Amino acid sequence: MKQKQPTTRDPYCLAMSHAPGEEDPSHSWQLLPAVFFSAFVILIVRMHTYTRPMSRFFWTSQTDTSGIADFFSYYKMIAILLCAAAVLILLLYRVTTQSFAVRRSFVYLPMALYALCVTASYQFSDYKAFALLGWNDRFEGTLVLLSYMLLLFFIINSVRTEAHVRLFLLPLAFSGGLLGLLGLSQALNMDFFRTTLGQKLLVPDIAMPTGMSLWQSIDAAAQQGEPYLKFTFQNRQIYQTVYNINYVSFYLTLLIPLFGMLFIRAWNRGKETPAAHKAGLALLFALLIYNLIGSASSGGFFGLGIIGLSGLILLNKKLLEWVRPLCVLFLITGLIAGITADRWTPELRGAFRSVTGGTAQEEPADPAELKDAEAGSVKPVIDYFDTAPDHIALSLNGRPLVIAVERNPEGQPASITALDEEGQPIEMKALESLGDGTPDAQESSGGDPTTGEAQVPRYALEDSRYRPYLTLSMAPVAGSPGIRLHTPGVTWDFVVSAENILHRNRMGRLVDLDPVEHVGFDNNPNFGSWRGYIWSRSFPLLKQTILLGTGADTYCAAFPQEDYAGKYSTGNNYDIVVDKPHNLYLGAAVGTGVVSLLALLSLFGIYLFTGARLYRKAVFGDDFLTFAGSGIFFGITGFLAAALVNDSSVSVMPMFYSLLGLGIVINDILAARK
């Protein structure tokens, strides 16, 4: 092995004796695992059933033996790990054959720091069973995150020439077009995955309890004119193969500017580029735009807007040289936007209202305005619940309320007393017409009413500050002594034992409730389709994850799922499970630590800084790498912007890290030409 002496034109800091030169196109076959990682992992869809140790979590009815089915993530995860194993073998092969070389780059330090944080977060995680492979239906755990860094390193140090870049982009065009056609079929209510063939490709032909095989069941359902597998996607939603309609527009922010820039180059080349090639790029661009707009995801629109803005800033006067091809692209975009207006206009209106406060939580009505309202008929904002051994504390519309419990000598509840915010007793009056067994009382209740509960009186609080929002009763809860608090839509069950008072949730699990810390979005928790609520509960978690996170892809376990009061008050199901932060950066900060997030931001920042400086001054001419590199740059810029409202996933991140690696290499090649 020999180490090259640094020169102004030498792009490598380390090169072994048989390492190919910068212009040597050999060893292209070694790029195939990375090409598959880039373009074809996203296509994988296949059913996998598994079990996870879920009994430890109070917020789910799943047990350690409950079967869970996954279609969109597990086998993508397996493919990513296989690609990583393949490139690791190739790197070892290069070392043993003296053909290994390391390109000079500042990105290795943040990559190494990020990998170290990911590994350390796993080692110290309380959720190792999930942190290793990832959460249910997501599977983006420690091994996958380390694979991303390994593939990124491999691409940076394997791609050397324009031919190598083309080797990546052609499969990307193919997979993008295939996914675009699939999305088009879904939008036109001809979803391939609802056909007999499509469903058989999704599942193995296993025996069913009915005596029929799974494929026979699919055939039988088809004869009845119905698909056997019924996904939750409705209204001709475009989900392609990426599980979530938001992820469709998320990854498309990478491809649209790339193939848009390549179309501009093809147009500018005139007759040197065959008409069929130009038409193919235009058709691909149209498919990608249709799927992004048709997916009706405001995150994708935001990313597309950032792409346009960055293009105006960096390309500036160069755009005047491309008026005709740009007009073609704008015409395609305008026509598709008009065709799909019924899809994206409601989404944009809703996004605008949520950002500007149009969906802000309404101020509670003045109690004086509700003097004629029936007891417990008006939905309150419940600020918190706090269970203690001798009382239940809560807050209704900012007014504290305490339900104190008196126990008899046997330790069972004998009486209850309501205390206002000053600690003064509140008179309680029995309601004549309502008992605890009414349908209203049982709605959304975690309790298990018995025949005797119907005769239990329900009490109203004779205080105008509380009366419209709440009634309460002393009633058995699942056969145990208990207290039930009744609000519109939900009956809150509390089991009273000799030692403590605990909330019994809908899964029948007993939970000690405490006020949940939250920061921001108090007046607009529905910001960004409920992202305001999720983020406000996520920010306080960062105090515990500065150095080490809770483990890769363990956000669902870390989130305060016991915040029933907050979920109820923001208009959602009070026991809904929040499984992702809808923000790539928050997910990293919680899962692998704030330091790991800073490492990622440094990695992205280095690339964006060098790219912006390069393409602002670039002379495009007819150079393929300049057009491809700028297209990748704009795509990554839009992707990172859309990541503010989207999550990392095994569906989109392989393509992102592949293009990031290509972008880093192209920038280095272009900079070396100067």
**pLDDT one-digit tens code per residue, 281-320:** 999 999 999 999 988 888 889 999 999 999 999 998 899 9
CB 653 within 8 A of CB 37: no
pLDDT at 447 over 50: no
Between residues 224 and 36, which one has the greater pLDDT? 36
The answer to the question of residue 602 being in a domain is no
Assess whether 280 and 333 both reside in one domain. yes
pLDDT for res 455: 66
Give the highest mean pLDDT range of 355-359, 435-439, 552-556. Answer: 552-556
Question: Residue 178: CA atoms inside 13 Å, Cβ hemisphere, count?
Answer: 12
Q: How confident is the model at residue 7 (pLDDT cuts 50, 70, 90)?
A: very low
> Tokens 């249910």 belong to which residue?
136
pLDDT digits (tens, 9 = 90+) for 453-490: 456 789 999 999 999 999 999 989 988 999 999 999 99
Give the highest mean pLDDT range of 445-449, 450-454, 631-635. Answer: 631-635
Between residues 347 and 528, which one has the greater pLDDT? 528
Q: How confident is the model at residue 6 (pLDDT cuts 50, 70, 90)?
A: very low
Identify the three-state secondary structure at position 317.
helix
Assess whether 200 and 336 both reside in one domain. yes
- How far apart are the C-alpha atoms of 39 and 251, rounded to whole Å? 11
pLDDT for res 14: 75
C-alpha 318: how far from chain center: 36
- Taking Cα atoms as reference points, which of 629, 618, 612 lies closest to residue 674? 618
pLDDT for res 506: 92
The answer to the question of residue 238 being in a domain is yes
Query: What is the pLDDT averaged over residues 389-404?
Result: 95
The answer to the question of residue 62 being in a domain is no
pLDDT at 2 over 50: no
C-alpha 395: how far from chain center: 32
| CA–CA distances in Å: residue 15 to residues 8, 91, 151, 589 | 16, 13, 19, 36
- Taking Cα atoms as reference points, which of 672, 632, 674, 628 lies closest to residue 23? 672
pLDDT for res 21: 66
What is the token pair recorded at 261? 């820039």
Assess whether 238 and 320 both reside in one domain. yes
Cβ atoms within 10 Å of 268's Cβ, excluding its own: 17
pLDDT at 441 over 50: no
Burial code (b: 16+ CB inside 10 Å, e: under 16) for 520-547 equals ebeebbbbbbbbbbbbbbbbebbeebee
pLDDT for res 413: 86
Supply the range of the domain harboring residue 456.
367-511
The answer to the question of residue 76 being in a domain is no
In total, the chain counts a number of residues equal to 674
The answer to the question of residue 241 being in a domain is yes
- How far apart are the C-alpha atoms of 309 and 314, rounded to whole Å? 9
Between residues 561 and 12, which one has the greater pLDDT? 561
Query: What is the pLDDT averaged over residues 589-609?
Result: 98
pLDDT digits (tens, 9 = 90+) for 136-181: 999 999 999 999 999 999 999 999 999 999 999 999 999 999 999 9
Give the highest mean pLDDT range of 30-44, 219-233, 341-355. Answer: 30-44
Q: Give the residue from 511, 526, 559 where a domain finishes.
A: 511
The answer to the question of residue 240 being in a domain is yes
Assess whether 274 and 342 both reside in one domain. yes
- How far apart are the C-alpha atoms of 642 and 584, rounded to whole Å? 9
pLDDT at 412 over 80: yes
Identify the three-state secondary structure at position 62.
coil
Q: Is the dihedral of CA 655, 656, 657, 661 positive or negative?
A: positive
Assess whether 268 and 409 both reside in one domain. no
Between residues 497 and 10, which one has the greater pLDDT? 497
pLDDT at 443 over 50: no
Assess whether 378 and 488 both reside in one domain. yes
Query: What is the pLDDT averaged over residues 71-80?
Result: 97
| CA–CA distances in Å: residue 517 to residues 391, 498, 539, 570, 654 | 21, 29, 9, 15, 35
pLDDT digits (tens, 9 = 90+) for 25-74: 667 889 999 999 999 999 999 999 999 999 999 999 999 999 999 999 99
List, in order, residues 6 or more apart from 257 with CB less than 8 Å away.
307, 311, 631, 634, 635, 638
Number of domains within the chain:
2
Cα pseudo-dihedral 595, 598, 603, 606, rounded to 10: -140
pLDDT at 392 over 70: yes
- How far apart are the C-alpha atoms of 534 and 558, rounded to whole Å? 12
Query: Per 3-state DSSP, what percentage of the chain is helix, strand, and coil (rounded to 5)?
Result: 50, 10, 35
Q: Considering the chain, what is the average pLDDT of its residues?
A: 90
Q: Give the residue from 477, 511, 545 where a domain finishes.
A: 511
Assess whether 254 and 389 both reside in one domain. no
Query: What is the pLDDT averaged over residues 556-581?
Result: 93
Q: Give the residue from 511, 535, 570 where a domain finishes.
A: 511
The answer to the question of residue 327 being in a domain is yes
- How far apart are the C-alpha atoms of 406 and 415, rounded to whole Å? 5
Q: What percent of the chain has pLDDT over 70?
A: 92
End-to-end CA distance of the chain: 30
Q: How confident is the model at residue 209 (pLDDT cuts 50, 70, 90)?
A: confident
Q: What is the pTM of this model?
A: 0.92
Assess whether 277 and 399 both reside in one domain. no
Assess whether 294 and 208 both reside in one domain. yes
pLDDT at 605 over 90: yes
pLDDT for res 359: 61
Query: What is the pLDDT averaged over residues 184-196?
Result: 91
Assess whether 344 and 375 both reside in one domain. no
Q: What would the DSSP string read from start to end of 519-553?
A: -S-SS-TTHHHHHHHHHHHHGGGGGG-SSS-S-TT
Assess whether 352 and 433 both reside in one domain. no
CB 609 within 8 A of CB 244: no
pLDDT for res 66: 94
Assess whether 349 and 375 both reside in one domain. no
pLDDT for res 22: 64
Question: What is the DSSP secondary structure assignment for residue 574, as one 8-state letter?
Answer: T
Cβ atoms within 10 Å of 290's Cβ, excluding its own: 23
The answer to the question of residue 641 being in a domain is no
